[in-house]
Structure 1
Amino acid sequence: MNKYELALVVNAKVEDDVRAAVVEKAKGYITRYNGNITEVEEWGKKKLAYEIQKMHEGFYYFIQFEADADCPAEVERHVRIMDNVLRYLVVRKDA
């Protein structure tokens, strides 16, 4: 099992419960593909480096998880089409 981190930037204009649902859905995709979530960090609302979809702020979340090599591609495939996700990135963390 490799260690990965999913970075999510969620739309800042949505309600708290909608934002929480987006994060839970992303966590659900990780567990669906046999990933084990180890930590979830919420950094809160931050100013974006550049405008995305006419928005200047977003909520940042970092989800650390352990999974097999095929899991990150499947998670990205699903997160790519999620509503209210401005940007995402899955990176492998070194040991």
Structure 2
Amino acid sequence: MNDYYLTLILKSDLDEGKRKELLSGVLKKATGESGKINKEDLWGNRDLAYPIEKHTKGFYAHYEFSADPAIIPTLDKNLRLEEDIIRYILLRK
């Protein structure tokens, strides 16, 4: 098990239900069967430093979690393919 940081920027125009569903799905994939969330920090809607894909605002979410290193490549691919995620960064602690 390794510890990781994950920071996401979601589209700011997502409704509350869709956002919660997306974040819970990402967390389920991130932790896998044996991982756990150590810290969750939702920063809310903020202005972006520069426009990204014509978006000037984004919903920020930051997580610290423990997971099996084998699931990280799959998680990275799923995050890249999710159209409601503007940007993300996934780092090993």
Give structure 1 stretches of 5+ with no counterpart.
none
Partner of 1:74: 74
Percent identity of paired positions between Structure 1 and Structure 2: 29
C-alpha spacing 1:35/1:77, structure 2 compared with 1 (3 Å): farther
Mark the CA change 1:76 to 1:34 in structure 2 (over 3 Å): closer, same or farther. farther
| Aligned residues of 1:33 and 1:74 also touching (Cα < 8 A) | no
Matched with 1:46 is 46
After superposition, residues 1-95 of structure 1 pair within 5 angstroms as 1-32=1-32, 34-93=34-93
> Following the alignment from structure 1 to structure 2, what is the Cα–Cα distance between the partners of residues 26 and 69?
16
Q: Which runs of 5+ in 2 are unaligned?
A: none
Shift of 1:33: 5.8
> What TM-score comes out, normalization by structure 2 length?
0.89
Task: Verify the 8 A CA contact 2:9 2:61 in the aligned structure 1.
Answer: yes
1:54 Cα deviation from its structure 2 partner: 0.9
Deviates more, 1:4-13 or 1:76-85: 76-85
Deviations 1:8-29 (A, max 9, x none): 1000011111111111110111
Amino acid at match of 2:37: I
Query: How many pairs were matched up?
Result: 93
Structure 1 residue 52: deviation in Å? Answer: 1.1
Deviation of 1:38 after TM superposition, in Å, equals: 1.4
Aligned partners of 1:5 and 1:64 also within 8 Å: yes
Tell me how far 1:68 sits from its aligned partner: 2.4
Deviation at 1:73, TM superposition (A): 1.9
TM-score by length of 1: 0.88
